[in-house]
Structure 1
Amino acid sequence: MPTAFSTDNGIYEQACDQAIAMCDGNLRSTIKALIMANEYLEAELQELRATIACGCMPNTCDAISGDAA
């Protein structure tokens, strides 16, 4: 997986092409969708940080150990 400092722009070009295609070529819709996705991820990150700050851990034990139903 590329990092934020990756010098391989090909994967970003492909991701841009895919995002634009998913919005039927409408660049404004593509930007709006990306902003909305970013806001969602920011909210998830804020919630995770708050959970960790209060000393709680997200319930990921089942997924890690493979004991999920």
Structure 2
Amino acid sequence: MNTDALICGDDDEAKRVVTTLAGKIPGLRPVDAGPLESARYLEAATALLININRMYKAHASIRILGI
């Protein structure tokens, strides 16, 4: 796996816990994606990614570059 886990939330401590857990998974990089309000964009991107993976019978994922 070579992908990012985009993490949204309004509770800084909860985001730290999730970031720590995600960081322990090989090939998974946690990325702070802002407040919980941003989660709706992640949900839409997830639906798109699922559709792409179905169409191409693939295992595509998201990787944020430049940070």
After TM superposition, the score normalised by the length of structure 1 is: 0.34
Q: Which has the higher contact order (CA 8 A, sep 6+)?
A: 2
- Greater Rg, structure 1 or structure 2? 1
After TM superposition, the score normalised by the length of structure 2 is: 0.35
Q: Which has the higher helix share?
A: 1
